[in-house]
Amino acid sequence: MSTAQLDPAEVHAVIIAVKELGPEPRKARWAHLSLCVLDATFSIGLDYDAVVSPLVFRYAEFAKLSPVIFRGPELETKLSPRPNEQTLTDFLCSIHDFTDAYLADKVLRSNTRTSTTNGILKSAATRQIAEALVGEGIQTLSDVKTLLSDSQTERLAKVEKRIKAVKGSGNQGIRTGYIWMTAGDDNHVKPDRHVLKWLQNVLGRKVTVTEARNLLQETATTLQLTPWVVDHAIWNHMARTRPNKP
């Protein structure tokens, strides 16, 4: 479904509902691409505040990363490349001597898997995603920015194909899009269960991932916001109002 095929009444309903959420611009970002990959890999299906965020901070402490997060005015400075920025090669070196099980149990302290059925440890998925990105020359936050702004879209397609090959990516590219979002791209959305449920509540019907992407893109354009801002406002609202945060 293209944005031209959207029901104007539904778009209007989503726009009104998003405005009521009081969407705000991005206030913080992870300072290293490795932390973005960890966040994006572990956040699907887990409580973000109770599990995912502490897990990312645990790895940052283990690897002695500083800074860990950029906030407020720092976001207006040059974030990448930086002398103190961990490359993905450095990340892989930091966990090279650990098995996936040891990394999950002793360092990250989460033995969760990408799926309860034939899934792999998310620690393994994180390692494999990092390896895939390094294999395509993606090392830092600035490399992601360059990749996404590259007019040679076949390179992006190649990178995303390699990431998708890692178990747990799903058929809709939600995890891949979330990696780009956490790395600073404001044009992607992550239509996970939170977003889909919110749209279902607003529209009174189930919404597909493709429909969700189109609705959020159109809403962002109309409100002169970035898609990230719209997605994040919805996600935060659902995270605050539901006991279990996927």
In a shared domain, residues 135 and 32: yes
Query: How far, in Å, CA of 90 to CA of 216, rounded?
Result: 36
Residue where a domain stops, chosen among 146, 165, 182: 182
pLDDT of 12 above 90 = yes
Mean pLDDT of 76-105: 96
In this structure, are 159 and 147 located in the same domain?
A: yes
Answer whether residue 97 is part of any domain: yes
Asked if pLDDT for residue 59 goes beyond 90, the answer is yes
Place 245 in a pLDDT band, splitting at 50, 70 and 90: very low
Looking at the structure, tell me whether residues 105 and 216 fall in a common domain.
no
Q: What is the mean pLDDT of residues 51-58?
A: 96
C-alpha–C-alpha distance, residues 63 and 149, integer Å: 30
- Is there a single domain that holds both residue 126 and residue 215? no
In a domain, 221, yes or no: yes
| Span between the terminal Cα atoms of the chain, in Å | 26
What's residue 171's pLDDT? 63
Pair (155, 214) in one structural domain:
no
Higher pLDDT, 239 or 103: 103
**158 lies in a domain?**
yes
Predicted local distance difference test score (pLDDT) of residue 191: 85
Give me the pLDDT at residue 242, please: 56
Last residue of a domain, one of 162, 182, 202: 182
* pLDDT exceeds 70 at position 243: no
Same domain, 120 and 211: no
The residues, any chain, with a CB within 8 Å of residue 193's CB and separated by 6 or more, are 246
CB 233, CB 17: distance < 8 Å: no
Q: Please report where in the chains the tokens 């194909």 appear, as a residue.
A: 161
Q: Do 209 and 175 fall into the same domain?
A: no
Which structural domain range is residue 165 located in? 28-182
Q: Pick the last residue of a domain from 182, 199, 226.
A: 182
Does residue 236 sit within a domain?
yes
Strand partners, 220: none
Evaluate whether residue 163 is within a structural domain: yes
What is the dihedral angle through the alpha carbons of 134, 139, 141, 147, rounded to the nearest 10 degrees? -60
pLDDT of residue 246: 32
What's the one-letter identity of residue 177? G
Q: Are residues 96 and 40 in the same domain?
A: yes
- Residues 101, 153, single domain; the answer is yes
Give the number of domains in the chain.
2
| 17 found inside a domain | yes
If we measure between CA atoms, which residue out of 208, 216, 210 comes closest to residue 234?
A: 216
Q: Which residue has the higher pLDDT, 232 or 241?
A: 232
Task: Write the pLDDT tens digit of every residue in 107-121.
Answer: 999 999 998 888 999
Q: Which two tokens stand for residue 228?
A: 């990230």
* Across 2-28, average pLDDT: 89
What CA–CA distance (Å, rounded) separates 158 from 177? Answer: 14
Domain assignment present for residue 21? The answer is yes
Residue 246 is assigned to a structural domain of this protein: no
Q: What is the pLDDT of residues 29-44, one digit of tens each?
A: 999 999 999 999 998 8
Q: Is residue 170 classed exposed, middle or buried when 0-12, 13-18 and 19+ CB atoms within 10 A define those classes?
A: middle
Mean pLDDT of the chain: 91
Q: Report the residue count for the chain.
A: 246
109 and 14 in a common domain: no
* 71 shares its domain with 132: yes
pLDDT confidence of 149, banded at 50, 70, 90?
Answer: confident
Do residues 15 and 63 share a domain? Answer: no
Name the residue type at position 107.
Answer: V
**Tokens representing residue 26 in the block:** 């991005």
